[in-house]
Structure 1
Amino acid sequence: MARTLITCGWIVSMDPALGDLQNADILIEDDRIVAVGRQLGAKAHTVIDGRDMIAMPGLVNAHLHTWQTGMRSIGSEWRSGEYFKYIHGDMATRFGPQDNYLGNLIGALNQIDCGCTTLLDYCHNITTTEQAERSIDALEDSGIRAVFTLGAGKLSPAQEALEPFERRVNPRDRVERIRKGRLTSDDARVTMALAVAGPHWAEMGPTRINLRLARDLGLRSSSHATKRPALAIDPRGYFTLLDEKLIGDDHTIVHGNYLGDEELARLVDAGVMAISTVQCELRAYAADPLVWRVRALGQIPALGVDVEPTVSGEMFREMHVALLHAQSIEVRARAANAAQNMPPLVSREALGWATIGGARALGLERQIGSLTPGKKADIALLRASDLNLFPVYDPIVSIVEQAGPGNVDTVLIDGVVRKQGGRLLFPADVLSQRKRELQESAARIMREAGYVAAA
């Protein structure tokens, strides 16, 4: 049994029973936290000196299309229509198995580098089983904890005419092969869920088939709820799915900016969790992110990055932007006497959205999201001595309002050190080679699509 002791300057546990501690320790045995407190007096094989650091739960990125990593920032000046035109309408159809591997590997390693220990990889460009397998290979090779969320891939225009997206279902044989093969365990570091187009994007027949497939195989499911009612394939589709009990606490919706109050309330009441990707939504949608509305309904929000072609991939920024936007709504609501019964929105809540909220959305709340004894040892250590954080008075505020990826010194996932001394422990020579290959992959895809990225 391997034992690791982390001596910490501050511990932000996100466990109400433990609270925040100063000059305390975390004891790990194999892949789990076994004790948190002062003067543990424990012997360990490995001691990590974090006396000038803040220990916190690893961040949870609850929604990322990791396969798009090679197109990072090419669409930062786009709006929603251009993203769908260039990425989904063309580039996505040109990805092969190795393209997915490279995007997922570099994307997942970046998440670790940025202090994120868990990722929901919404992989909705899969057209072959091999492409799915290579996507999973990358997640496993990176060392991240991931929920591989398998979705139907993009087809060429000629194929799309024969099999329109709104009528497509996830091929049962492909889903079963992966679920009954390498991702059969729900306790592994990489697990599985099913991406479902949902009633905004698909007809109800295929939507029902996909959701029943997920239930048959014991999989959680997730759908994009992105469209105004006038543009949705079935604007009352979520009501129907709730009435038919096809979605509940095993389903998440992503975005949901245009959902009506009754619809959102029913979803929340059924246990469906909402995942907001605030950076993307502020740029692409003419309606507010759900964070404030979900909070008012008593549900903890969850956060994700969504698409790195248009926004930053790091969760510190997503968390900060989400808090600022929700506080802006709060200021206006209080000025109109419309939020008098709600507690003030503070930094601790925002950190909860990016930790325990994400864990709950992924069905992993009992495993991750807080530094609770018995949970997985998924931990990030931030250097409190860095000039942008020093001096630290309240570590919660320092994390949410001041910190960024550059402050992440050490990352552990499943008790394994994946970053230390500010450097990833992934083999440097392999990483350099994979970066070159990713750049070549992205260049080929954009060249074939006739897209010229800005110089």
Structure 2
Amino acid sequence: MKKLIKGGRVVSMDAAIGDFVRGDVLIEDDRIVAVAAHIEADADEVHDATDMIVLPGLVNAHLHTWQTGLRSIGAGWTGPDYHRLMHGNMGTRFNAEDNYVATLVGALEQLNGGVTTLFDWCHNLTSLEMAERSVDGLEESGIRAVFGHGTAKPLAADGDLPFTHRPHARERLEALRKGRFASDDRRVTLAAAILGPQFSTPEVTEHDFRMARDLGLLSSSHAARRPQDRVSAKGYFIPAERGLLDHSHNVVHGNYLTDEELKLVVESGASITVTSLIELHVHPADPVTGRVSALGGLPSLGVDSIPAANSDLFTEMRVAMLFQRALEHRANYRKGNGPLETLPVRSREALEWITIGGARALGLEHLIGSLTPGKKADIILIGMKALNLFPVHDPVHTVVQQANAFNVDTVFVNGDLIKRNGSLLFDANTLRKRQAELEISAARIIRESGYQLAAA
């Protein structure tokens, strides 16, 4: 089936194609086949993009979607509070259906906000059933996703082996890889959400990296601990020395990485995902967006943890950009210099972080991240007449500085229409039912945990 997006303000995010004040995008089945100022085609559907900004779908490179039902519960938590209350308590009370409904509703929220691809970092899993139902939620939503199979991190009882010393559950990962994820030619694919060297012993680190490589999977790990708090003091030098650190690994956060270690990670080809909203919430060390860029890397962004952070990827992008600008302004001021002649971090650079940067982090740059013929038809349209956007003088500046999830008018994933005229096409009655189920699920988990909501 051919679909023609007609007469929009096209921002392709592909330097070879450029942008168009008025342009068209032609879709055939699940692929983009043409992007140009004017396309004549015998299309089955024509989508009028007049007064719309046409963009590649956004990529949220890190989200714990299973936590959707606990939105804002941790807005006043510290980092240790989060690990104690979420992983040590509430996270242990989820069952397979809790994961399913949270993942479905969370994925739909992301689609509503223009996110067409999500790295769902699911790290509360205790069974294959929980993993399968989480994937069911992703697939039912229609989103493109990388499902990061992680493991639960309960507090160790006396005499128990702590999670830091437990290798990843290979049997579950293999079952998924040999089952529904036997092929990578699908909308939802599989990754290994491993502990990594900051949260596991050298032996576990090597096991988990090798496991992911053996199964042909992207792996990803958190790097959010101070050097003195790491389980493995040598950090990412461990997988690097063993020939295991390369483009198939994604590092999340990295705030406390030394210049030497960060350089090692970037030069290895591994990607870095920054989650500024959460990092500014609980960490004294700065987000590494600028440091990664200075080393020649391309950062990606994620919204991370809904219990404590806003889930809107536009907000994450804006905060990441503005914080990096502030850092560079302050550094310049401390040197006794006058105002900078040009602003650090261009708007287009920030937009790259949530498009092609996210695609590259997920190993999907050949499929998504730009409006390029041959890539998947993951496309969003943003209305330019909204009062918070109008008038639009430069679409990139407008999207980066002004837009939010509610400005997203239309969403295509894999050529399928997911949102139109500002409304998701997901069945409204089913959504209301799932929202009610999520409320019941969250209330039960909070009640069983014994947690008392603190005053704001």
Band of TM-score, shorter chain: over 0.9
CA distance in 2 between counterparts of 1:306 and 1:319 reads: 13
1:386 aligned residue: 386
CA deviations on 1:429-451 (whole Å, 9 max, x unpaired) are 00000000000000000000001
1:317 aligned residue: 315
2:113 aligned residue: 114
CA distance in 1 between counterparts of 2:162 and 2:189 reads: 29
2:328 aligned residue: 330
Would you say the 8 A contact 2:156–2:163 is kept in 1? no
The gaps in structure 2 that reach 5 residues or longer are: none
Counterpart amino acid of residue 153 in structure 1: A
1:105 aligned residue: 104
> How far apart are 1:11 and its partner, in Å?
0.5
CA distance in 2 between counterparts of 1:146 and 1:128 reads: 20
CA deviations on 1:210-248 (whole Å, 9 max, x unpaired) are 111101100010000111001101121311211111121
1:418 aligned residue: 418
Structure 1 consecutive aligned stretches of length 4 or more whose deviation exceeds 2 Å: 154-158, 160-163, 332-344, 452-455
Would you say the 8 A contact 2:9–2:54 is kept in 1? yes
CA deviations on 1:112-137 (whole Å, 9 max, x unpaired) are 00010000000011100000000000
Aligned length: 453
CA distance in 1 between counterparts of 2:105 and 2:454 reads: 22
Would you say the 8 A contact 1:278–1:322 is kept in 2? yes
CA deviations on 1:338-386 (whole Å, 9 max, x unpaired) are 9999994210000000100000000000000000111000011000011
1:440 aligned residue: 440
> How far apart are 1:204 and its partner, in Å?
1.0
1:221–1:337 CA distance, 2 compared to 1 (3 A): farther
CA deviations on 1:76-109 (whole Å, 9 max, x unpaired) are 1222121112111100000100000011000000
Counterpart amino acid of residue 423 in structure 1: S
For normalisation by structure 1, the TM-score amounts to 0.97
Would you say the 8 A contact 1:126–1:154 is kept in 2? no
1:353 aligned residue: 353
SS of the residue 1:230 aligns to: helix
CA distance in 2 between counterparts of 1:9 and 1:136 reads: 34
SS of the residue 2:406 aligns to: helix
Trace 1:34-183 onto structure 2 (pairs within 5 A).
34-155=33-154, 157-158=156-157, 161-183=159-181
CA distance in 1 between counterparts of 2:181 and 2:346 reads: 38
Among all aligned residue pairs of Structure 1 and Structure 2, give the percentage whose two residues are the same amino acid. Answer: 52
Say whether residues 1:260 and 2:258 are aligned partners.
yes
2:12 aligned residue: 13
Would you say the 8 A contact 2:209–2:239 is kept in 1? no
Counterpart amino acid of residue 329 in structure 1: L
CA distance in 1 between counterparts of 2:88 and 2:45 reads: 50
The gaps in structure 1 that reach 5 residues or longer are: none
> How far apart are 1:270 and its partner, in Å?
0.6
> How far apart are 1:294 and its partner, in Å?
0.3
CA distance in 1 between counterparts of 2:233 and 2:301 reads: 24
1:25 aligned residue: 24
CA distance in 2 between counterparts of 1:246 and 1:448 reads: 41
SS of the residue 1:293 aligns to: helix
> How far apart are 1:153 and its partner, in Å?
1.6
2:193 aligned residue: 195
1:387–1:450 CA distance, 2 compared to 1 (3 A): same
Would you say the 8 A contact 2:274–2:287 is kept in 1? yes
CA distance in 2 between counterparts of 1:161 and 1:6 reads: 62
Counterpart amino acid of residue 27 in structure 2: I
More displaced stretch, 414-423 vs 337-346: 337-346
Counterpart amino acid of residue 438 in structure 1: L
Counterpart amino acid of residue 399 in structure 1: V
SS of the residue 1:162 aligns to: coil
CA distance in 2 between counterparts of 1:423 and 1:298 reads: 39
Say whether residues 1:275 and 2:273 are aligned partners.
yes
Would you say the 8 A contact 1:152–1:169 is kept in 2? no
For normalisation by structure 2, the TM-score amounts to 0.97
Counterpart amino acid of residue 138 in structure 2: L
1:343–1:74 CA distance, 2 compared to 1 (3 A): closer
Would you say the 8 A contact 2:329–2:340 is kept in 1? no
Would you say the 8 A contact 2:205–2:239 is kept in 1? no
SS of the residue 1:126 aligns to: coil
Say whether residues 1:295 and 2:275 are aligned partners.
no
Counterpart amino acid of residue 440 in structure 2: E
SS of the residue 2:397 aligns to: helix
> How far apart are 1:161 and its partner, in Å?
4.4
CA distance in 2 between counterparts of 1:284 and 1:315 reads: 19
> How far apart are 1:183 and its partner, in Å?
1.0
Aligned with 1:248 (options 246, 260, 271): 246
Would you say the 8 A contact 2:302–2:316 is kept in 1? yes
CA distance in 2 between counterparts of 1:397 and 1:115 reads: 17
CA distance in 1 between counterparts of 2:332 and 2:426 reads: 48
SS of the residue 2:357 aligns to: helix
CA distance in 2 between counterparts of 1:379 and 1:46 reads: 15
Counterpart amino acid of residue 403 in structure 1: A
Would you say the 8 A contact 1:152–1:168 is kept in 2? no
SS of the residue 2:236 aligns to: helix
CA distance in 2 between counterparts of 1:195 and 1:212 reads: 13
CA deviations on 1:2-33 (whole Å, 9 max, x unpaired) are 00000133001000011110111100000000
1:231 aligned residue: 229
CA deviations on 1:54-75 (whole Å, 9 max, x unpaired) are 0111110000000000000111
2:214 aligned residue: 216
CA distance in 2 between counterparts of 1:58 and 1:416 reads: 12
